Copies of this chain bind each other. A is one copy, B any other.
Amino acid sequence: MYFYKEDLINIIEVDKPDPAAAKVLQEILGGRFGEMRTMMQYFFQGSNFRGNALQYRDLLRGVFLEEISHVELVQHTINQLLNGAGDSGVGNAGADGAPLDEAVLGVNSNPHHFIIGAQSSVPEDAAENPWNGSWVYCHGNLISDLLDNLVLESTGVLQKSRIYEMSTNKAFRETLAFLIVRDNAHQNAFAKALETLGVDWGKLFPVPNYDINKYPECKKYVDMGFHNAQFNFRLDQTRMGEIFQGQSPSRNAGELKVTDPPKGFPVPVLPEMPNEHSPGISDMNR
């Protein structure tokens, strides 16, 4: 069973609205290599695990638990990027004082952000394709699953480092940087699991081959050792430390360690919007 404490796994930096950034960030939420896919893939792999080598199941489930928090972090980041967006300033006065012409003028925005909900995240990718269950791979073979998870985490870094270049917005870059570092940790987890099965990775990792220090927001997380840590969200025992230990399989080196999760950050409370058309509900109920 799953328990919750109302904390985000990382901070939501506040910056100006940036609907174009919100649009591309959807790839990280609902894309074929986004957080919804990793979350559901590890969920199915954990539940469908067979046999007694439960240290592997504990590892899969351990990463799954963190991915739920990643989905939540990206949802809130997108909401932050959309908060206050909508008015392009060209004087297209809305009937209710809340013009949404920015949705159609001069930026590559996601129309669903402005139509489907009250300027908030959707289960879609950057090109507005809905998330699709056929993207979840659970092969019924441990090695194939681990190799595939490696691809997932390396592609996660690749896509995030590309998206990072698309805006300097702080809410956007902070979330991306945190997730890049965590994808490195999870890449280490799956690479290490394959090491326990006999592979010597040589100098292959990290994939992609990039200098994480170029990303100033990443550096502090690396300094905190987050690239070599497996956060433990279990309220009971876990055997994942039997795998996630010893030398990192990456050129970035260091010692792998199971640790407590970050301390937690407040879940933002965003103001009601005119386009919700729900004013008064809070009044009625206080």
Enumerate chain A interface residues (CB-CB to B < 8 A): 1-9, 20-21, 23-24, 27, 30-32, 36, 40, 43-44, 47-48, 50-56, 61, 65, 68-69, 71-72, 75-76, 79, 86, 92-96, 98-101, 103-112, 114-124, 126-144, 147-148, 150-151, 154-155, 158-159, 161-168, 194, 196-204, 207-211, 214-216, 233-236, 242, 261, 264, 269-273, 275-282, 284-286
Contact = CB atoms under 8 A, between A and B. Distances in A.
A147 B141 contact: no
Instruction: Determine how many copies of this chain the complex contains.
Output: 6
A68 B21 CA distance: 30
B104 A24 contact: yes
* Shortest beta-carbon contacts, A-B, top 6: A208-B277, A118-B140, A198-B202, A127-B128, A131-B133, A123-B133
A201 B201 CA distance: 8
Nearest to A68: B2
A143 B278 contact: yes
A167 B92 CA distance: 7
A277 B157 CA distance: 10
Given A6-B236, A130-B132, A107 B110 contact: no
Given A147-B147, A199-B200, A165 B275 contact: yes
Most buried by B among A1, A50, A163: A1
B131 A128 contact: no
A126 B120 contact: no
Contacts of A8: 1
A116 B50 contact: no
B79 A48 contact: yes
Contacts of A24: 103-104, 111, 115
Contacts of A47: 72, 75-76, 79, 120-121
